[in-house]
Structure 1
Amino acid sequence: MLMIIRPYEEYDEKSWLRCRVLAMLDTAYYDNVLKEKERYGNPAIELVATEGEEIVGLIDIELDTRPGEVCSDSERRGGLIRHLAVHPDKRRQGIGRLLLLEALGRARTSGMQYLEAWTRDDQWVRNWYANVGFRMVDSYLQVYLESGDQLKGMIESKVPQLHPVSVFAHYTGSDKAYVVSKFSRVHETSRFDLDLMEL
């Protein structure tokens, strides 16, 4: 069946959500489920790859209107990749690369100087970003603290009878090995940049 890359439309939402959920199930984002598509406060590039009525890939990039507004770099205008997913039955067919290439042209036309992507510690995803020209520039840890021993002495409630059951936290310190050894679910989340001025 012919695949088409086109802008996202409101009527795509259900198929968009289904594609994203299925794409995340075997990744470190397996529990990052959305019930509705994210809407952006800034201009955005929102593209889908379709086969017939089914969305088989998607990319959303929110754009800076001034440096540092959405992206990390306060000197250059960038586009932050909010979502990039390919249906698991359609992987390794170049859909992600085609979506990215279409988005790159639109980002350049919009005056963006670089793209920024954040991803967790799935090595195959990191390899994909590196293979399409991104380079890793930063990382921090995302930490899930579960009830019991992991929360004891770490998180306390000041509200009587309110007991934390689980906590999601960011660790930006230098002793990553200690944090990894202390908690059962820790993800290294890395920033990858693609300089659009060098392409």
Structure 2
Amino acid sequence: MSRKYKIQDQDKLYFVTFTIVEWIDLFTRKAYRDILIDSLKYCQNNKGLDLCAFCIMSSHIHLIMGRNGEQTIEAIIRDFKKFTAIEILKSIQGSPEESRKEFLLHHFRQAGARNPNNSTFQIWQQHNHPIELNSNDKISRCLNYIHQNPVVAGIVFSAEDYVYSSASNYAGLPEKLIEVLLIE
């Protein structure tokens, strides 16, 4: 693996993306998006996550993140992905309304079978490609990219109108799902 995609400095901010295996559109359901939001809040309150920006799209989530505690950024990412995978899987399996249940379980089971680090199911792709945000230009570009994702995808006209994003935080709007540390 290239040094470009490793966390070198625990005191820096990083742009990371977590993607569902096969880019499956999992987060079309509010219940699964809410699992991510609840877990991000938990990590902020209990794991030392400094969350500066986020955007949940249908098959992936973008974050600008750092840490403020003892846990490494890698540990926070590992715990977040493990917990959300377990909770999402339980939600899929227990949902009588999930019309894609068999499709999702089949693909997650296949992905798990191909991965020697997994025993059964795999929901998240393994890589995160962390990019160290070591300049104001990189921070600005990544922040813009994250918030413009739903606009470019044609979901909303204005970034701050997308509920599952920190764009409303940066626009100073009172409606927001989660508090973030604004990057100045």
Higher relative contact order, chain-length normalized (CA < 8 Å, sep 6+) = 2
TM-score of the aligned structures, taking structure 2 as reference length:
0.27
The structure with more strand, counted as a fraction of residues: 1
Is the radius of gyration larger for structure 1 or structure 2? 1
Compute the TM-score of the two structures, normalised by the length of structure 1: 0.25
